[in-house]
Amino acid sequence: MLLTPPALPQMSQESWRPSHTAASLIPEARGGRAQRAMYLLLVLCAAALYLAGEPLVPTARSLAVHLAALQIGALLKGTCYLAEEVFHLQSRHRGSFWRALSACFPLHWHGPMLLVCGSAYVALHDGDGQPLGLHLGLASLCQLLVLALGLHKPSAVEMSEMSEKSKQNVAHGLAWSYYVGYLKIVLPRVKKSMEEFSRANPNVLACRETWKLHILVPLSCDVCDDLEKADSNIQYLTDLTEITLTRAGTKKRVYKHSLYAIRDEDNKLWHCAVEYATPLQSLYAMSQDECAAFSREDRLEQAKLFYRTLEEILKGSKECAGTYRLIVYEESGEAETHFLSREILWHLRQQHHEYTVYEGNHPHAPSTTLNSTELNLQISKSDLPQPLRSGCF
């Protein structure tokens, strides 16, 4: 039976809570609301045209002209891009003109759509004196003006959504690199290292629920190399057992984690393995380098996306389950001397509470798990004591 640290007074445990939770700091993936709004507006627009009571043939002819203008715009834009891509056939498209053509005109139905709209206009033409060529020429002029003025460029929201869906953000690459190149290697071995240390020091890591690697994710990306300098209530204790592997040509590459003692308001020590998510240093360095063209706003957005991506990756990793705890936080504008230690302590207390509740409710773990049907059969409908009966024999 593991010894759990004595409970702290209620006031000291509740004296500080994180001002923001992960749910309030990290944006969720975008849903399909924009698509649903588009369908709704489409229905409303069609209903408005129907209620306007305009003649059918002129309305259909105008609709055909507008649709043709849109297809002309897409074809003209693709033509402009193709004029550049033909000079990069070998380096970008493996020497294939067809690949370059497909890249510039990804939607192959623009051409057929233009033919259909043109044919519909000719079929509905009622001799208004304006030939089809004039309409197409005016449509081309308008679309070229839109391209020249840059009005065709996607908004910041569209670019963000496209980058997230295609997994091409800087944050996605950093999160996957961090997981594949580091966490996937060390996390499965963390509990073994903790167990070895606990056997030698039984009173230090008493709460098994905290036998995890606590990963700090500051959204400011300001990573301090020395935790003791970042917060005087955090003191280095020792290193856990080293992990030595041969990796990427390096013989006996060493991976290790540091164990720290966190002092709370009552001078009680809490112990845990904690470290920063090192890829955040890359985001911070990029925002400081003019060549990267990476603003503070970009850095904040990518830091949030890094956390969300890393969380999704780790949740899907069976081998890393129960071996980590992500601590995301946003530092307040006011200078707080012990902000970091309080943030870590809050998470440690949460885990300690979970462990205490588990130990108190389940003093003897059952060998089998009952399903919901079996549990319902064991519940008495009366509050009075009932005799033991069995109808199974």
* pTM (predicted TM-score): 0.67
**More confidently predicted of 53 and 85:** 85
For the stretch 369-381, pLDDT in tens is: 334 333 343 434 4
3-state secondary structure of 126: coil
**Which CATH code fits 170-356?**
3.40.50.12100
Asked whether residue 385 carries a pLDDT value surpassing 50, the answer given is no
| Percent of the residues in the chain that have a pLDDT greater than 90, as a whole number | 25
Q: List where CATH 3.40.50.12100 sits in the chain.
A: 170-356
3-state secondary structure of 327: strand
Tell me what pLDDT residue 15 has: 52
For the stretch 281-307, pLDDT in tens is: 999 998 888 887 788 888 888 999 999
Q: How many CA atoms lie within 13 A of 183 on its CB side?
A: 31
What is the C-alpha separation between 93 and 100, in angstroms, rounded?
6
Tell me what pLDDT residue 98 has: 86
Q: Which of 139-153, 290-304, 353-367 has the highest mean pLDDT?
A: 290-304
The average confidence (pLDDT) of the chain is 77
Asked if 211 contacts 190 with a C-beta cutoff of 8 angstroms, the reply is yes
Tell me what pLDDT residue 152 has: 74
Query: Could you tell me the pLDDT band of residue 390, with boundaries at 50, 70 and 90?
Result: very low
List, in order, residues 6 or more apart from 245 with CB less than 8 Å away: 185, 252, 253, 255
Tell me what pLDDT residue 376 has: 40
Query: Could you tell me the pLDDT band of residue 315, with boundaries at 50, 70 and 90?
Result: very high
H helix intervals, 169-261: 170-178, 184-200, 227-230
For the stretch 91-113, pLDDT in tens is: 888 888 888 888 888 666 666 77
The pLDDT of 133-153, averaged and rounded, is 78
List, in order, residues 6 or more apart from 307 with CB less than 8 Å away: 22, 26, 217, 219, 326, 328
Asked whether residue 360 carries a pLDDT value surpassing 60, the answer given is no
Query: Could you tell me the pLDDT band of residue 141, with boundaries at 50, 70 and 90?
Result: confident
3-state secondary structure of 254: strand
Report the candidate in 366, 357, 7 with the shortest Cα–Cα distance to residue 209: 357
The pLDDT of 216-237, averaged and rounded, is 92
Report the candidate in 202, 201, 263 with the shortest Cα–Cα distance to residue 232: 263
Asked whether residue 255 carries a pLDDT value surpassing 80, the answer given is yes
Report the candidate in 8, 1, 2, 4 with the shortest Cα–Cα distance to residue 345: 8
The pLDDT of 23-50, averaged and rounded, is 78
